[in-house]
Structure 1
Amino acid sequence: MTDISHVNLRLIDTTVLLIFLSLMRHRKATEVAREMGLTQPAVSHALKRLRTLYEDPLFLRRAHGLEPTALAHELEPKIRRIVRLLSQTLENPDQFDPASTATDLRIGAFDYELTTVIPKLAAEMRTLSPSINVHAYPLVYTEALDALVHGRLDLAIGYFDIPLRSEATFVVEDLYSERYVLAGRRGHPLLSDNPTLEEMAQADHLLVSPHGLIRNRVDEALRMQGYQRNIRTVVPSLFAALSIIENSELVMTLPERVAVGNWQPFDIVHKPLPIDVGDFQLQAVRHARDANSPLHAWLLENLRRIVSS
């Protein structure tokens, strides 16, 4: 492909870019024409301009419709970013229309949120705005906050203890209150009844942590009573942990919603902790630069509604 010149750039306008994205989604020129209120010859003419510009067919005719070429797949995220930037220049709270906005929402979350929140959010986005994509990344704590600062994320979901000096940098919103429970395989002797504090401390524990052995509020509460968890296994992901406790004598502390949502797939049971470690808040964090963004306000509105249900 030749270098893009000013002459070539004149072949591109917003309509051509939107037609390209619509073709990637529908794979049929007739569907694109109907969606955008254009004639089919207008769609074909736009595609011809793109083929000339990129010196590539971009879409191959097949019995089921149009099949994107490798270059078309490569161009799609770049063109989405261009359309997103153009859209942002026009946005204001009164004009934002999710049904016509094409963009990617980049969300950082840990396994807990990826299990309980992100699936519902992604499904809701497909219904409310087919051109808004949800991209989730396994970023937590300082990694997620750093990605927000550098513009690599639109939103981070999780538990954050944000220092006072950083409060002006981020906008933090509580989504819901959560508490820890003790979970293990069905039939585990420790979970046949509510365990005592001593029984919990003596059990073999599994810890989910992407950064190795760490201590949290459960360990601090136990320490205040003269106990400590006997952590025997540390794994970086939730699904690995659930699979392990389902088939072993290990137990683990989990947010209650995660335990409730996974008792059938992994055949686990859970009981209240024998010690009060306090509730914690699942939070949504965005950068201050997005505090007045209608896109982010709309995202948070739907996120609050999803988690409340």
Structure 2
Amino acid sequence: MRLIDTTILLVFLETMRQRQATAVAREMGLTQPAVSHALKRLRNLYGDPLFLRRAHGLEPTALAHELEPKVRRIVRLLTETLEGLEEFDPSSAATDLRIGAFDFELTGVIPELVAQLRTASPNINVHAFPLQNRDALEALDQGQIDLGIGYFDFPLNSDASFVSESLHSEHYVLAGRRDHPIFAQSLTLGQVAEAHHLLVSPYGANRNLVDHALHLQGLKRNIQTVVPSLFAALSIVENTDLVVTLPSRIAANNAGRFNITHSPLPIQGGAFGIHAVRHRRDATNPLHIWLLEKLRSVVRDQAAVATETN
């Protein structure tokens, strides 16, 4: 333990990010020999080369990849002991923000959030990952992401490890090409069941509130196509007879980009919540508090756009 100090941990994380010793030295304000010495100490400490020299730079070993999330958690805990000592300044902050979300949020919320962050804090880098639900919570717990955004299908207050904030309430609509005959009149559950459906899911077929409502009537969706991403889905439905079930804001915000329209589904009590979730260890992190303020602003703006469209 006495052989470990914060400098070699920071050098390790920066080397995992930069993959170039000269870039690490420049980023951290160290000399290249100092970086090389820190990496040598790490190699001796763990009995592993950790980084292999390649033509394109330094390639992390399997052990280095295993160590990264653990070292990141250690550095995060050390950082928390210093939080509050200095006032947070977004314009000068330089760090990485890692966000996990489903494709609906990745294509709907993240682009506008990144645009606002680039204006207010150009040195904050955003890394978005296709994580949702329990996968997002596990990544939060492991310190692999800073924030999870989306729908979580179990009570978040049941786990004291996380801090949850409701962003907005959502409901499903049925979307398809503008001249699709199914939109000529108000939808019935029978029409929804008989339609040819496209499903947006990176993991194959799954069930949602619409399937539950149909099941109560002895019906089920006729899913004929499954794609992993929203834009692929919208590109398909605007040119075929397929329809897709989407959150209302996603359908409204993309109606101008694609030749699609949408209609409310005949489902009672079909609302669900979209939440922003952090690990409790970051509850007082000024960077995260500022990030949430930006996120709320994006959600409010998009709510206004969706209202105007409807």
In the superposition, relative to structure 1, how do residues 123 and 196 fare at CA in structure 2: closer, same or farther (>3 Å)? same
Amino-acid identity (%): 55
Deviation at 1:52, TM superposition (A): 6.1
2:256 to 236, 261, 264: 264
2:243 to 248, 251, 261: 251
Deviation at 1:21, TM superposition (A): 4.3
Please provide the CA RMSD for this pair. Answer: 3.3
2:26 to 8, 16, 20: 20
Q: 1:54 & 1:165 partners in 2: Cα distance?
A: 44
State the partner residue of 1:157: 149
- On the 8 A contact 2:174/2:262 being kept in 1, the answer is yes
**Letter of the structure 1 residue corresponding to residue 293 of structure 2:** E
Q: 1:170 & 1:221 partners in 2: Cα distance?
A: 30
Deviation at 1:166, TM superposition (A): 4.3
In the superposition, relative to structure 1, how do residues 239 and 93 fare at CA in structure 2: closer, same or farther (>3 Å)? farther
**Letter of the structure 2 residue corresponding to residue 258 of structure 1:** I
Moved runs in structure 1, 4+ residues, more than 4 A? 16-19, 51-55, 69-72, 84-89, 163-166
In the superposition, relative to structure 1, how do residues 273 and 165 fare at CA in structure 2: closer, same or farther (>3 Å)? closer
In the superposition, relative to structure 1, how do residues 273 and 156 fare at CA in structure 2: closer, same or farther (>3 Å)? same
Q: 1:282 & 1:225 partners in 2: Cα distance?
A: 27
- On the 8 A contact 1:218/1:277 being kept in 2, the answer is no
Deviation at 1:202, TM superposition (A): 0.8
Deviation at 1:264, TM superposition (A): 2.5
- On the 8 A contact 1:221/1:277 being kept in 2, the answer is no
Deviation at 1:282, TM superposition (A): 0.9
State the partner residue of 2:169: 177
**Which ranges of structure 2 fall in alignment gaps of 5 or more residues?**
12-21, 37-54, 61-67, 302-310
**Letter of the structure 1 residue corresponding to residue 128 of structure 2:** A
DSSP-derived class of the 2:87 partner: coil
**Which ranges of structure 1 fall in alignment gaps of 5 or more residues?**
1-5, 23-45, 56-68
1:128 to 120, 124, 128: 120
State TM-score, norm by structure 1: 0.72
State the partner residue of 2:46: none
State the partner residue of 2:15: none
Q: Does 1:292 align with 2:284?
A: yes
DSSP-derived class of the 1:297 partner: helix
Q: 1:165 & 1:188 partners in 2: Cα distance?
A: 42
Deviation at 1:225, TM superposition (A): 2.5
